[in-house]
């Protein structure tokens, strides 16, 4: 990989997501050599991918070049590569561009969509975990409407205009809301020769309420908001299968739909090579102790979604979302320094900053520790928090401008089929 060995200890970080970036920023003044490896040359701000998929934001404004994150930091390197395997005996990472020795390894690979082993669903449904997937979804939505124009067959048109979102977490709820706003404000103008009332947006939730990790009030209010927007909510229903045409569920409910978006769960994006007993089978996450050390290893850490710190208050590990990742990244920086300087490491303590979800214009739900609120003010808080969490001034400014523009004009202008999905992937349909 052409990275020179220096007298400084080498820390190799796999993954430039929230956890990896947060760690790197906190390490920047230390006497270390840091190598960041990622399969993309950019960081993705995943919480806003749904706005890319629905034409509200351009992908470039929620992504940020990883090289720019480490710019001007001496001894920090970036390499674009897929990691194939960890060889813990040799202290080496095997990648598509060669092997790399590490003194300390940090696994921050995040998570993948969890299809629970259903190959059909994996093949025919859409995910929304990265930029290309979101652009594929954006293309598919628009291509479906173009196709709906061309058919005189009522059933076929119904299917093309029927959207089934599986999973009632923040991703599912936010996407359902955004689709509903497209239905209301944009599609009737773009497709005046279609009866947009035919468009159906369904959200299917296994449990008995949406946003089940949030407060009861947040669930209720988000359901009210979605119903107001015309979204059909199906609770206590599990999707069992999808063949590209018919969605089968655990009840006698079926959907005839060309588009299924799978937002029903994630798995840790584990890396091969470590002992199997350090992995939580069910979730593909690495078991870590309170210092984020992977079980059984002394110089391999895991942080963020891929780490599972089983504590009394979090028996299944921390929730797989941005906040634990950011906090673990920051905290690990101090522990790495402690370890190198032979000082005692400090256990990680998660500070719950609350959670939130937006459903549409002026409609959001926010749960803080001592204050839960919904509606317009929650929506402003949601926007403010997301805007300031974005990396880079340019991104913040462009996103802010787009939001103001979209709000005033009731528009989402980036509805371009730049990478045709359906008509290039015909075999899957």
Catalytic positions, written as ranges: 174
Q: Which stretch binds a second copy (CB under 8 A): 24-32, 119-127, 227-235, 388-396?
A: 388-396
Nearest CB to a second copy, comparing residues 31 and 190:
190
Residue among 7, 29, 152, 370 that touches a second copy (CB under 8 A): 152
Q: Is residue 42 a contact point for a second copy (CB under 8 A)?
A: yes
Give the one residue of 59, 110, 169, 317 binding a second copy; rule: CB under 8 A: 59
The single residue among 240, 246, 253, 416 that binds a second copy, judged by CB under 8 A, is: 416
Closest approach of a second copy to the CB of residue 95, in Å: 11
Using the minimum distance from each CB to a second copy, give the nearer residue, 310 or 413. 413
Q: Does 394 bind a second copy (CB under 8 A)?
A: yes
**Given candidates 10, 79, 287, 339, which one binds a second copy under the rule CB under 8 A?**
79
The answer for residues whose C-beta is within 8 angstroms of residue 20's C-beta and 6 or more apart is 13, 14, 36, 38, 106, 108, 303, 304, 329
* Stretch of 20-28, 36-44, 320-328, 360-368 lying at the interface with a second copy (CB under 8 A): 36-44
391 is written with which tokens? 């990396």
How near is the Cβ of 212 to a second copy at its closest, in Å? 33
The distance of closest approach from Cβ of residue 232 to a second copy in the complex, given in angstroms and rounded to an integer, is: 26
| Residue 172 contacts a second copy per CB under 8 A | no
Decide: is 422 part of the binding site for a second copy (CB under 8 A): no
- Position 156 contacts a second copy (CB under 8 A): no
Write the Ramachandran bin of 153: left for phi over 0, alpha for psi from -120 to 50, otherwise beta: beta
In degrees, rounded to 5, the angle at the alpha carbon of residue 373 between the alpha carbons of residues 210 and 17 is 65
Residues 89-148 within binding reach of a second copy (CB under 8 A) = 97-98, 131-132, 135, 142-143, 146
Residue 398: other Cβ atoms inside 10 A: 17
- 392 contributes a contact to a second copy by CB under 8 A: yes
Indicate the residue among 312 and 418 with the shorter CB distance to a second copy.
Answer: 418
In the bound complex, what is the minimum distance in angstroms from residue 80's beta carbon to a second copy? 5
Minimum CB distance to a second copy smaller for 57 or for 233: 57
Using CB under 8 A as the binding criterion, the count of chain residues that bind a second copy stands at 53
As given in the structure block, the two tokens for residue 32 are 């270390």
315's CB contacts (< 8 A; 6+ apart) are none
- CB-wise, 16 or 206, nearer to a second copy? 16
The answer to whether 190 contacts a second copy (rule: CB under 8 A) is yes
Please say which residue, 1 or 368, places its beta carbon nearer to a second copy.
1
Please report the sign of the dihedral spanned by the C-alpha atoms of residue 255, residue 261, residue 262, residue 263. negative
Exactly one of 71, 90, 197, 245 binds a second copy (CB under 8 A); that residue is 71
Q: Please state, in angstroms and rounded to a whole number, the distance separating the CA atoms of residues 45 and 329.
A: 16
Positions touching a second copy (CB under 8 A) are: 1-3, 40-42, 58-61, 63-65, 67-68, 71-72, 77, 79-80, 97-98, 131-132, 135, 142-143, 146, 149-152, 189-191, 193, 392-395, 397-398, 401-402, 405, 411, 413-419
């Amino acid at each position: 990989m052409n990275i020179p060995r220096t007298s400084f200890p080498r820390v190799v970080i796999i993954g430039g997501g929230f956890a990896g970036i947060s760690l790197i920023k906190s390490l920047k003044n230390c006497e270390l050599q840091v190598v960041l490896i990622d399969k993309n040359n950019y960081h993705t701000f995943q919480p806003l991918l749904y706005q890319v998929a629905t034409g509200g934001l351009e992908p470039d404004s929620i992504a940020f070049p990883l090289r720019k994150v480490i710019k001007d930091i001496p001894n920090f390197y970036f390499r674009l590569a897929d990691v194939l395997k960890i060889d813990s005996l040799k202290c080496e990472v095997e990648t598509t561009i060669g092997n790399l020795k590490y003194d300390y390894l940090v696994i921050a690979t995040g998570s993948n969509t969890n299809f629970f082993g259903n190959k059909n669903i994996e093949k025919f449904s859409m995910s929304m975990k990265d930029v290309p997937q979101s652009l594929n979804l954006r293309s598919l939505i628009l291509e479906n409407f173009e196709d709906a124009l061309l058919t005189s067959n009522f059933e076929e048109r119904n299917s093309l205009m029927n959207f089934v979102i599986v999973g009632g977490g923040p991703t599912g709820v936010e996407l359902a809301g955004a689709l509903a706003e497209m239905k209301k404000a944009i599609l009737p103008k773009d497709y005046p020769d279609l009866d947009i009332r035919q468009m159906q947006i369904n959200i299917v939730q296994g449990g008995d309420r949406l946003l089940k990790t949030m407060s009861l009030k947040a669930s209720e209010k988000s359901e009210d908001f979605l119903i107001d927007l015309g979204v059909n909510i199906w609770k206590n229903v599990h999707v069992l299968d999808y063949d590209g045409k018919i969605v089968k569920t655990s009840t006698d409910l079926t959907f005839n739909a060309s588009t299924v978006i799978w937002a029903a769960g994630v798995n840790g994006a584990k890396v091969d090579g470590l002992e199997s007993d350090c992995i939580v089978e069910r979730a593909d996450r690495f078991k870590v102790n309170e210092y984020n050390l992977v079980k059984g290893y002394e110089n391999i850490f895991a942080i963020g979604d891929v780490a599972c710190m089983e504590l009394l208050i979090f028996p299944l590990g921390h929730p797989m979302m941005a906040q634990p990742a950011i906090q673990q990244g920051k905290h690990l920086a101090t522990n790495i320094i402690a370890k190198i300087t032979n000082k005692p490491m400090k256990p990680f303590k998660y500070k719950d900053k609350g959670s939130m979800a937006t459903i549409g214009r002026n409609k959001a739900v926010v749960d803080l520790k001592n204050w839960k609120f919904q509606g317009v003010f929650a929506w402003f808080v949601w926007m403010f928090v997301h805007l300031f969490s974005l990396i880079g001034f340019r991104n913040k400014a462009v996103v802010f401008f787009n939001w103001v523009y979209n709000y005033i004009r009731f528009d989402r202008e980036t509805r371009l089929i730049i990478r045709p999905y359906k008509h290039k992937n015909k075999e899957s349909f």
